[in-house]
């Protein structure tokens, strides 16, 4: 896969990734509409699981590609918005919270925070963009925070994300009988794709407007 060196590179990567996801969901919808009643029930369940998989996968791709683009810009932390610098310490803070480290290690972390602003942003901890295999509204808001974008739109769609998508997906994943109605599938898939595209647009606009800059 090519790297997002430029704004256009980033757009092309996100376009390519969205195209195959959209086609797979479209193909699944078509299969459901043509299926007999017995097959249709199984396909409706599969559509929910597939929709969630594309939701989680595309959000992760967008966020990781955005940060990769920033690392390829080879800018120092002082040239970037503060959240980028904050992100560089979140993994260590989490490890500090989960373990009993000595005073020297705590002091070292504080000194690194105070002294590290002149460094260059060249690496993103891969655990930072963490969907937790359960990309609900609260997790999405965390991802928006580390990306430095507003999460209000996802909060406004909490019921759809947490109930109509996540709750259904989790029930299906645990082997219980759950599916959506055939007359729901067009709106359901359209909503998923709209939310995926909305997040992509937030990051893409930020890059083109260079809103990541200090």
pLDDT one-digit tens code per residue, 138-167:
999 999 999 999 999 999 999 999 999 999
- Distance, CA of 111 to CA of 137 (rounded, Å): 34
For CA atoms 143, 146, 149, 151, the dihedral sign is positive
CA distance 140 to 212: 19
Q: Which residues pair with 123 in a beta bridge?
A: none
pLDDT at residue 158 in the model:
99
- Condensed to tens digits (0 to 9), the pLDDT of residues 105-129 reads 878 888 877 877 778 998 888 889 9
User: Residue 11: how many CB atoms within 10 A of its CB?
Assistant: 16
Helix axes 103-115, 82-98, angle to 10 degrees: 180
Q: What is the pLDDT of residue 108?
A: 82
Query: Cα–Cα distance between 62 and 201 in angstroms, integer?
Result: 10
- Judged by DSSP in three states, 80 sits in strand
Low-confidence ranges of the chain (pLDDT < 50): none
The pLDDT > 90 percentage for the chain reads 75
What pLDDT sits at residue 106? Answer: 77
Residue 21 near residue 54 (C-beta atoms within 8 A): yes
What is the predicted pLDDT for the residue at 1?
67
Output the CA–CA distances (angstroms, integers) from residue 20 to 16, 24, 194, 196, in the order listed.
Answer: 7, 6, 15, 13
> In whole angstroms, what is the distance from residue 78 CA to residue 55 CA?
33
Q: Is 157 helix (H, G, I), strand (E, B) or coil?
A: coil
pLDDT of residue 103: 78
- Rounded to the nearest angstrom, the gap between the alpha carbon of residue 34 and the centroid of all alpha carbons in its chain is 32
Output the pTM of the full model. Answer: 0.93
| C-beta separation of 55 from 188 below 8 A | no
Count of C-beta atoms within a 10 Å radius of residue 153: 15
């Amino acid at each position: 896969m090519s790297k997002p060196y430029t704004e256009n590179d980033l757009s092309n990567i996100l376009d390519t990734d969205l195209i195959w996801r959209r086609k797979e969901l479209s193909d699944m919808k078509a299969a459901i509409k043509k299926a007999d009643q017995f097959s249709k029930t199984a396909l409706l369940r599969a559509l929910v699981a597939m929709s969630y998989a594309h939701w989680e996968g595309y959000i992760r791709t967008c966020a990781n590609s955005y940060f990769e683009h920033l690392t390829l810009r080879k800018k120092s932390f002082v040239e970037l918005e503060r959240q980028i610098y904050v992100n560089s310490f979140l993994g260590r803070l989490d490890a500090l919270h989960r373990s009993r480290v000595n005073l020297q290690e705590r002091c070292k972390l504080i000194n690194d925070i105070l002294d590290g602003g002149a460094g260059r942003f060249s690496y993103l901890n891969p655990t930072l963009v963490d969907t937790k295999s359960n990309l609900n509204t609260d997790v999405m808001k965390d991802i928006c925070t580390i990306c430095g974008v507003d999460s209000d739109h996802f909060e406004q769609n909490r019921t759809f994300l947490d109930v109509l998508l996540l709750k259904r997906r989790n029930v299906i994943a645990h082997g219980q009988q759950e599916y959506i109605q055939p007359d729901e599938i067009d709106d359901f898939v359209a909503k998923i794709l709209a939310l995926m595209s909305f997040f992509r647009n937030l990051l893409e606009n930020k890059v083109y407007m260079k809103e990541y800059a200090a």
